[in-house]
């Protein structure tokens, strides 16, 4: 038999041999080295770890990690609900919520030292929890929540299960969290479980339109679109937002409107973005879920400490807003507390000795955790409820770099504010300008918007991004642009202390039919500094924000501006507690774009800026009134 025939015969025999009857086939072997039952490994952080899926009132189960100090008994429970993966909150990378040491690099040292049972839970529809996911869902009973559950009911049901099933607990429960987790720490206050004894919302998302994540006074934070895509596309929150650009400024400029960019990246398919698109104004959708408004309508039953960062780059509005809403209900003065430090978003949970180029002379975050957070939690969560010495307001005063213990905030009411006038020739002062009305003008061009920081603008969470510190960036980066007008005092001969909320009173006209206005309050360091020469001339933004002109008359209803007619714009800047030292100067900058953080105003009125077309983007001449009866000013909360 020749070779081809031999090979053919061999293949035939093999085929025949492999064709055994179905009943004689051998079951496939799973080749693995993983044990059938994972071993119980002692936790390096001194906890016994339990993982349970807790049923809610509608049958949905929420994935929950329970960490109990070894050998613990009669312990308070401190829980955090999160969309950011409960499994990863306690482990090799504890994310600031549970750390073994007190070295200042993590935020939970007093929590760990306190010996609390820590509970982490995935919210509905995220990671390993069942159910559907809705971003910051509206409370039950509002028109925008068709279900009978929300984050308040889920927290209630979780606490109820915990106090009945965790035998090591003393039945006292607290809740805390940062950012979205801070929002989730506010929701349980709507109808609190009797076992909920304290809440510590840190940098909470409170009002997404007025001044937290999604809008600031109507201007859309378009660089949050990658977050929306990641959070909503999958339960694992792992969908990337790829642009192919290393400079967000270039990418967003070429992309056109925020709506066009959303369509090009798939963000427009996300349910939450569709709501943003449908509700660009401050209508009932936003108002019904603004947590300061929601909680203002509820009885005050649970002590709460609101934690704020004075340079919070993401949620600078929320904590002070809830404090303002709740404090009038605190008739005894022992239910509503406020802490505010010189921090970026969540920095209280890490090292707090500096923010960008600005140094505070001490680790402010570590001091706060030890002296404020630790005794506060212990008082409410430990069975013996040790006495605490925590002031109603604990706030850091920048400029002198010292902590203050106060009875209330702000120390200067709006009615007592001092006017800081914008004057001709770029002057700035506490007395009005002499003479008749005058204006100073500049041209705002959407084709060349003012960057919110030095380019290239790295994507927010890209490697090497310094997003956390942009609010303290040196404003000299833009102060020389012709479309940024600057007003400045001379060197101060005595300190000027401000403690409260600066309020902008801008009188201005535009040749367009819509306009944005950005106003910055800045501390200008003197030149010739000997201690730190790198800070000579530094322009530190103390407080700044943006206002979309179409909402001048009503936040809930957009209206075109009358071209070339001076109009008044009034809006608050974020709160400050700062001392402008002698030798420093006070500066105010005014501009009409803050890009790419905020989407460009086309400066032509269109019903919905998300749908603006390229032809709608036009140059506009902006004129700011700097003398006369309508002179622009900032109502500054000066301590006298």
- Its pTM stands at 0.91
Q: Is the per-residue pLDDT at 492 higher than 90? A: yes
How long, in residues, is the chain?
640
Q: Which of 271, 288, 270 is nearest to 144 (CA)?
A: 288
509-567 pLDDT per residue, tens: 999 999 999 999 999 999 987 777 889 999 999 999 999 999 999 999 999 999 999 99
- Residue 555 contacts residue 576 (beta carbons within 8 Å): no
pLDDT at 19: 45
Phi/psi-derived region of residue 208, left when phi > 0, alpha when psi is between -120 and 50, beta in every other case: alpha
> What is the average pLDDT across 575-602?
98
CA distance readout (Å), 3 to 9, 11, 206, 303, 507: 10, 12, 81, 90, 98
Residues 161 and 237 in one domain: no
Q: Is the per-residue pLDDT at 38 higher than 80? A: no
- Which domain range does residue 277 map to? 215-285
Residues 556 and 425 in one domain: yes
355-413 pLDDT per residue, tens: 999 999 999 999 999 999 999 999 999 999 999 999 999 999 999 999 999 999 998 88
Residues 202 and 219 in one domain: no
**Secondary structure (DSSP) of 234-257:** -TT-------S-S-HHHHHHHH-S
> What is the average pLDDT across 569-577?
98
**Would residue 64 count as lying in a domain?**
yes
By DSSP bridging, strand 438-444 and strand 620-627 are antiparallel
Q: What is the mean pLDDT of the chain?
A: 91
By DSSP bridging, strand 633-636 and strand 503-510 are antiparallel
Tell me which of 361, 384, 406 is where a domain ends: 406
Residues 324 and 457 in one domain: no
435-449 pLDDT per residue, tens: 899 999 999 999 999
127-159 pLDDT per residue, tens: 999 999 999 999 999 999 999 999 999 999 999
Phi, psi of 416 (to 5 degrees): -105, 10
**Would residue 567 count as lying in a domain?**
yes
> What is the average pLDDT across 115-136?
95
The reply to whether omega before 415 is within 30° of 0 (cis) is: no
**Would residue 40 count as lying in a domain?**
no
User: What is the distance between the alpha carbons of residues 451 and 600, in angstroms, rounded to a whole number?
Assistant: 11
> What is the average pLDDT across 69-95?
82
Q: Is the per-residue pLDDT at 421 higher than 90? A: yes
Tell me which of 285, 305, 328 is where a domain ends: 285
CATH of the domain at 148: 3.40.50.1820
Q: Is the per-residue pLDDT at 101 higher than 70? A: no
CATH of the domain at 541: 2.60.120.260
Tell me which of 406, 429, 446 is where a domain ends: 406
Phi, psi of 262 (to 5 degrees): -60, -40
Run of H or E including 164: helix 151-165
Residues 426 and 477 in one domain: yes
Overall domain count for the chain: 3
Other CB atoms closer than 10 Å to residue 305's CB: what's the count?
24
Residues 548 and 487 in one domain: yes
3-state secondary structure 134-149: CCCCCCCCCCCCCCCC
pLDDT > 70 in the chain, percent: 91
pLDDT > 90 in the chain, percent: 84
Q: Is the per-residue pLDDT at 15 higher than 70? A: no
Residues 105 and 159 in one domain: yes
602-632 pLDDT per residue, tens: 999 999 999 999 999 999 999 999 999 999 9
86-95 pLDDT per residue, tens: 988 865 444 4
pLDDT band at 458 (very low <50, low <70, confident <90, very high): very high
User: What is the distance between the alpha carbons of residues 485 and 25, in angstroms, rounded to a whole number?
Assistant: 83
pLDDT at 263: 97
Q: Is the per-residue pLDDT at 96 higher than 70? A: no
The reply to whether omega before 117 is within 30° of 0 (cis) is: no
pLDDT at 435: 87
> What is the average pLDDT across 450-459?
96
Residues 252 and 363 in one domain: no
pLDDT band at 581 (very low <50, low <70, confident <90, very high): very high
- Residue 124 contacts residue 33 (beta carbons within 8 Å): no
By DSSP bridging, strand 393-397 and strand 336-341 are parallel
Q: Is the per-residue pLDDT at 490 higher than 70? A: yes
Residues 438 and 553 in one domain: yes
Run of H or E including 523: strand 516-524
CATH of the domain at 257: 1.10.3020.10
Residues 382 and 432 in one domain: no
pLDDT band at 30 (very low <50, low <70, confident <90, very high): confident
User: What is the distance between the alpha carbons of residues 560 and 605, in angstroms, rounded to a whole number?
Assistant: 6
> Which runs of consecutive H residues, i.e. helices, occur in 257-391?
258-265, 271-278, 284-287, 291-296, 318-326, 364-368, 374-381
**Would residue 456 count as lying in a domain?**
yes
User: What is the distance between the alpha carbons of residues 499 and 399, in angstroms, rounded to a whole number?
Assistant: 12
Q: Which of 621, 519, 508 is nearest to 568 (CA)?
A: 508
232-267 pLDDT per residue, tens: 999 999 999 999 999 999 999 999 999 999 999 999
pLDDT at 216: 98
Q: Is the per-residue pLDDT at 28 higher than 90? A: no
**Would residue 30 count as lying in a domain?**
no
Residues 279 and 294 in one domain: no
**Angle formed at CA 353 by CA 351 and CA 355, multiple of 5 degrees:** 90
Residues 468 and 445 in one domain: yes
pLDDT at 11: 32
């Amino acid at each position: 038999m020749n070779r081809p025939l031999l090979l053919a015969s061999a293949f035939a025999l093999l085929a025949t041999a492999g064709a055994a009857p179905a009943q004689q086939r051998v079951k496939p072997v799973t080749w693995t080295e993983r044990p059938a039952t994972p071993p119980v490994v002692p936790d390096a952080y001194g906890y016994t770890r339990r993982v349970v899926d807790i049923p809610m009132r509608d049958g949905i189960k929420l994935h929950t990690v329970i960490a109990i100090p070894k050998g613990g008994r009669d312990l308070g429970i401190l829980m955090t609900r999160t969309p950011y993966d409960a499994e990863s909150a306690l482990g090799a990378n504890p994310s600031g919520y549970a750390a073994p040491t007190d070295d200042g690099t993590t935020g939970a040292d007093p929590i760990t030292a306190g010996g609390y049972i820590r509970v982490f839970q995935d919210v509905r529809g995220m990671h390993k929890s069942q159910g559907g996911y809705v971003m910051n869902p509206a409370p039950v009973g509002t028109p925008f929540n068709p279900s009978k559950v929300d984050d308040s009911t889920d927290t209630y049901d979780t606490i109820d299960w915990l106090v009945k099933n965790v035998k090591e607990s003393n039945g006292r429960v607290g809740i805390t969290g940062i950012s979205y987790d801070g929002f989730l720490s506010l929701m349980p206050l709507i109808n609190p479980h009797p076992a909920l004894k304290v809440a510590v919302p840190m940098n909470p998302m409170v009002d997404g339109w007025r001044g937290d994540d999604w809008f600031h006074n109507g201007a859309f934070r378009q660089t949050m679109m990658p977050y929306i895509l990641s959070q909503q596309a999958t339960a694992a929150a792992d969908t990337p937002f790829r642009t192919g650009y290393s400079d967000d400024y270039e990418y967003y400029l070429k992309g056109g409107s925020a709506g066009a960019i959303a369509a090009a990246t798939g963000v427009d398919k996300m349910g939450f973005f569709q709501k943003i698109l449908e509700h660009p104004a401050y209508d009932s959708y936003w108002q019904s879920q603004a947590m300061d408004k929601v909680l203002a309508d509820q009885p005050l039953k649970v002590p709460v400490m609101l934690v704020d960062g004075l340079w919070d780059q993401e949620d600078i509005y929320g904590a002070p807003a809830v404090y303002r809403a709740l404090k009038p209900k605190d008739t005894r003065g022992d239910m509503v507390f406020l802490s505010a430090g010189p921090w970026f978003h969540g920095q209280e949970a890490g090292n707090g000795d500096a923010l960008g180029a600005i140094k505070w002379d001490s680790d402010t975050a570590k001091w706060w955790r030890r002296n404020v957070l630790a005794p506060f939690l212990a008082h409410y969560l430990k069975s013996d409820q040790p006495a605490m010495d925590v002031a109603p307001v604990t706030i850091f005063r920048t400029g002198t770099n010292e902590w203050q213990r106060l009875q209330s905030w702000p120390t200067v009411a709006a009615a007592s504010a001092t006017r800081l006038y914008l004057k001709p020739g770029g002057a700035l002062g506490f007395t009005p300008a002499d003479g008749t009305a005058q204006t100073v003008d500049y041209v705002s061009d959407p084709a060349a918007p003012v960057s919110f920081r030095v380019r290239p603008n790295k994507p927010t969470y890209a490697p090497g991004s310094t997003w956390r510190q942009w609010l303290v960036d040196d404003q000299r980066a833009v102060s020389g642009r012709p479309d940024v007008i600057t007003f400045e005092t001379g060197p101060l001969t005595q300190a000027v202390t401000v403690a409260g909320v600066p309020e902008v009173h801008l009188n201005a006209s535009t040749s367009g039919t819509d306009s944005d206005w950005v106003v910055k309050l800045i501390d200008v360091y003197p030149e010739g500094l000997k201690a730190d020469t790198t800070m000579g001339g530094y322009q530190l933004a103390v407080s700044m924000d943006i206002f979309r002109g179409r909402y001048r008359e009503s936040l809930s209803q957009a209206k075109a501006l009358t071209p070339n007619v001076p109009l008044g714009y009034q809006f608050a800047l974020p709160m400050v507690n700062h001392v402008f030292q002698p030798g420093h100067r006070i500066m105010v900058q005014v501009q009409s774009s803050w890009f790419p953080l905020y989407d460009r105003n086309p400066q032509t009125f269109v019903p919905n800026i998300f749908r603006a077309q390229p032809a709608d983007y036009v140059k506009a001449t902006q004129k700011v009134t700097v003398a006369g009866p309508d002179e622009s000013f900032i109502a500054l909360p000066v301590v006298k």
